[in-house]
Amino acid sequence: MSVRRIGVLTSGGDAPGMNPCVRAVVRTALYHGVECYGIRRGWNGLINGDIVRLDEKSVAHTINRGGTILYTARSSEFMTEEGQRKAVSTCKFLGLDSIIAIGGDGTFRGALALSKYGINVIGIPGTIDNDISCTNYCIGFDTAANTAIECIDKLRDTMQSHERCSVVEVMGRNAGYLAMYVGLACGATAVLVPEEPIDFEKDVIEKIRQARFNGFTHYMIVVAEGAGKATEIAARIKEAIDLDPRVTVLGHIQRGGSPSGRDRVNATKMGYLAVELLLQGKTNRIVCTHEGGFTDVDIDEGLAMKKSIQQMEVDVLAAMTGI
C-alpha cells in the first residue's frame, strides 16, 4: 500500500486539542516526505473539494489554539451513498490515497464507509464527551473538564455566600463521563449521569439532607445533559424540599479554550501515530489509549465495543457524598 498524499479532517463537535493533532499529522507526514492536505468543514469538504495544501507554516502557532483551524461540520450528505461516492471521486481526482479523520463515532462511521471504496483511513478520537468505547481518553476531554471545573468553582463561591443550591448542567450528549469526572473534582453533593438509574429521593434529596446534617448550607448538583434538564431537576428539588436552586447550563463554553498540556501532548502523540500506522501499511484503524499507552484497533471492532462509567468512580462518589 503506497501512501503519498494524506488528507486530514476534523468532524463533529470541535474539541480542544484538535489543532495540535492536525499539526502532528502534518509534521509527521512532511518528516517522512509525504504530502498533507487539510480537508475543511469535515466530510463536507471531501464532497465539495474544499481542500488546502498544508505545509510547515500552515500549522505554526496552532498548538495552543482551541477549536479547529480546519473548521468542522456534521455532514448528513456524507451519510448517503451518493455523498460517499462524491467524496471518493474527490480523493481519486486529487490523488488522496489516505484520510485521517479526527472526531467521534459518527466520524469513524464515515471513515469506515470510505474505506469500502479502497481509501486508507485512520480515525483519531476527538470529543469532549469521552464517549468512544475503544479508548479511555479522547482529545478535548481534559480541557473541557478543567473548564467546567473552573466554572463550578466560581459558582461555588457565590452559592456558598448565599447559602444556595446550584444545579449545573454539563455536556456529554448521551454519556456521563464528563459530568462524573467534573462532579468528583468539584466535590458535588450529587451527580446525575444517564448510565446510572436515578432514584430522585435517594440520589438527590437525601444527599442534600445528608450534606445539611454534615453542616453544609450550600449544595452543588451536577447533571449530565443526557440525564435530564437542569431546570427540571431544580423544579423537582423546589417541590420536594422548598429550596430555590439556581440553574447554570455550562453549554458550549466547555468546548472552547486553549488545550491543556495533557490534551496537547496526547493529541500530538495520536496524530503522530496515525501517520506511522499508514506508513506501516495499516488502514481501517482507530488510534486509542490502552492501559496507559497508545495502540490501535480495527474501526469495525472499535465501533462495536461498549464502555460505561467506571464502577470505581460510582463507588468513590457514593463515599464522598455520604450515602
Residues with a known catalytic role: 129
Number of residues that bind ligand F6P (CB under 6 A): 9
Residue (73 or 94) nearer to ligand F6P, CB:
73
- Is residue 169 part of the contact set for ligand F6P (CB under 6 A)? no
Give least dist CB 245 to ligand F6P, A: 22
Q: Does 296 bind ligand F6P (CB under 6 A)?
A: no
Q: Which of 16, 67, 172, 176 binds ligand F6P (CB under 6 A)?
A: 172
Contact stretch for ligand F6P (CB under 6 A) within 18-26, 127-135, 180-188, 189-197: 127-135
* Interaction residues for ligand F6P, span 10-69 (CB under 6 A): 13
CB nearer ligand F6P, residue 63 or residue 171: 171
**3-class secondary structure for the chain?**
CCCCEEEEEECCCCCCCHHHHHHHHHHHHHHCCCEEEEECCCHHHHHHCCEEECCCHHHCCCCCCCCCCCCCCCCCHHHCHHHHHHHHHHHHHHCCCEEEEEECHHHHHHHHHHHCCCCEEEEEEECCCCCCCCCCCCECHHHHHHHHHHHHHHHHHHHHHHCCEEEEEECCCCCCHHHHHHHHHHCCCEEECCCCCCCHHHHHHHHHHHHHHCCCCCEEEEEEHHHCCHHHHHHHHHHHHCCCCEEEECHHHHHCCCCCHHHHHHHHHHHHHHHHHHHCCCCCEEEEEECCEEEEEEHHHHHHCCCCCCHHHHHHHHHHCCC
* Shortest distance, position 164 Cβ to ligand F6P, whole Å: 26
Minimum distance, C-beta of residue 181 to ligand F6P, in the bound complex (Å):
13
Choose the binding region for ligand F6P from 76-84, 121-129, 182-190, 206-214 (rule: CB under 6 A): 121-129
Stretch that binds ligand F6P, among 63-71, 171-179, 183-191, 194-202 (CB under 6 A): 171-179
Contact 165, 36 (CB under 8 A): no
**x-or-dash string of contact with ligand F6P, 248-267, rule CB under 6 A:** -------x------------
Select the residue whose beta carbon is closest to ligand F6P and give its number. 13
> By CB under 6 A, which span of 33-41, 145-153, 167-175, 315-323 interacts with ligand F6P?
167-175
Binding residues for ligand F6P (CB under 6 A): 13, 127-129, 171-173, 225, 255
